Amino acid sequence: MSLLKTDQELTRNSYYVATAPRTQRYAALQDDVSADVAVVGGGLAGLSAALELRARGYSVVLLEARELGWGASGRNGGQVIAGLASDISVIEEQLGTAAARRVWDMTVEAVNLVHERRARHAIDCEWQSGYLTLAVNARKAKALRAWQEEMYLRYDFQSRWIESQDMPRWIVSPRFHSGVYDDFNGHLHPLKYTLGLAAAAAQAGVRIHEDSAVTALQAQAAGALTTLRTEARVVGRDGVVQGSVRARYVLLAGNVYQQGIARALEARIMPVGTYIIASEPMDPALAGSLIPSGAAVCDTNFVLDYFRPMQDHRMLYGGRVSYSTATPMNLAESMRRRMLLSFPQLKDVKAEYAWGGFVDISMNRAPDFGRLSERTGDQGHANIYYLQGFSGHGLALTGLAGKLVAEAIAGQAERFDIFSRIQHRAFPGGRWLRTPALVLGMAYYRIKDLL
């Protein structure tokens, strides 16, 4: 089954879609236009870059194949967190400690940027501060404690350790041994945030076209314009309507859905399904008792559970992974059973919404940013930037990534290039065989999670 077909099923019953009504739609591209920059993808990465580029005076056309926020940006766990999906040691080993420190600091800036944008654009997206990282057993607790100390000593990241006996004050659950709390990270309603950024981008003069899938990318000689061709289905018009954008610079920010226009990027990421339920609203006293601080939570397993209490007294609970593109059977019930392992006291609470999406996992789980020319060797691709490989940790980082692309296009590529120097390997097996290869690798980590 194709990724897109599965994804249509996965978005149908999303809590976010039900609670963030779209007040604005953007017309499909139906003619030939030009701009300084063309952005492919109306998720947080593309929108952030578009906003930052407009602020620097560039004309920007943003092309979204479906609706803004349709991808991961409008469906994720809502956890706004500093750091990367990979351990920071991956960056230290590759680029050295000074560059790793700069990367870490930029991930902190990414969280601050969320606050700056919420405030500047008056985006009401239910921000709640507080984050708990919890260990499920003593062995994992030891590793978590070592990580916490190292992050404080080497990266100045402040958090507090929670001993086993103090855990009930933080979470009423039999599943967790001990953990770390910080009040820098937190959570929000991601679709409200994404649509808020989109409104800000449109207001700033970004030309946005939804229902406009980029189907081909034609680069010319180095320094020449790139042409993007689009196809759209337009209500009231028969067949497919075509359009094009000619631009000096291009940003590819289409995530795992961006297939067929820049194949050199595709084997460097792998779509991995992850799933979420939102419970029905509970008695406020019960809802408030589960995680008294209101913090978002993740465990330290490789295949992790992530969850958070909601302002309307629901529990939003995410986890599982799938390496095939098929939607898991009985998704809502299987996720509800997962929730009950953490909160058995919710046995009478129903799952009202269930949805999911695909994360763009890179082999080492570090982000994969660069210029297409670095992947193809074709200098005609030197002005085509790409952002991918957020590996399930992109709600805040996409915002910073878009800013780095804007800086690079404006001639300040130093920060972008710290990221572009991170080395990545393609998934073994190439385009079609990478899924089985990853499944084998993940089976190993699943077993480790049980220990």
Ligand X SMILES: Cc1cc2nc3c(=O)[nH]c(=O)nc-3n(C[C@H](O)[C@H](O)[C@H](O)COP(=O)(O)OP(=O)(O)OC[C@H]3O[C@@H](n4cnc5c(N)ncnc54)[C@H](O)[C@@H]3O)c2cc1C
Residues of this chain that interact with ligand X (CB under 6 A) are 40-46, 63-66, 70-73, 75-79, 81, 213-214, 253-255, 257-258, 261, 274, 276, 306, 318, 356-359, 390, 392-396, 398
Residues 113 and 414: their CA atoms lie apart, in Å, by 19
Min separation Cβ 97 and ligand X, Å:
24
Min separation Cβ 77 and ligand X, Å:
3
Q: What angle do CA 38, 76, 114 make, to 5 degrees?
A: 65
Q: Which residue has the tokens 């020319």?
A: 373
C-beta closer to ligand X: residue 309 or 356: 356
C-beta closer to ligand X: residue 164 or 234: 234
231 in Cβ contact with 242 (< 8 Å) = yes
C-beta closer to ligand X: residue 70 or 147: 70
C-beta closer to ligand X: residue 179 or 392: 392
Distances (CA, A) of 205 to 61, 79, 106, 201: 9, 29, 27, 6
Min separation Cβ 354 and ligand X, Å:
11
For β-strands 240-252 and 226-233, DSSP reports them as: antiparallel
Min separation Cβ 14 and ligand X, Å:
10
Phi, psi of 372 (to 5 degrees): -60, -35
Min separation Cβ 281 and ligand X, Å:
21
Min separation Cβ 272 and ligand X, Å:
9
Min separation Cβ 55 and ligand X, Å:
18
C-beta closer to ligand X: residue 324 or 379: 324
Residues 216 and 197: their CA atoms lie apart, in Å, by 27
C-beta closer to ligand X: residue 78 or 196: 78
User: Could you tell me the two tokens for 282?
Assistant: 């509970």
Residues 296 and 188: their CA atoms lie apart, in Å, by 9
Residue nearest to ligand X (CB): 394
C-beta closer to ligand X: residue 168 or 245: 245
Nearest Cα to Cα of residue 231 among 26, 30, 27: 30
Largest CA distance in the chain: 66
User: Could you tell me the two tokens for 142?
Assistant: 């030891």
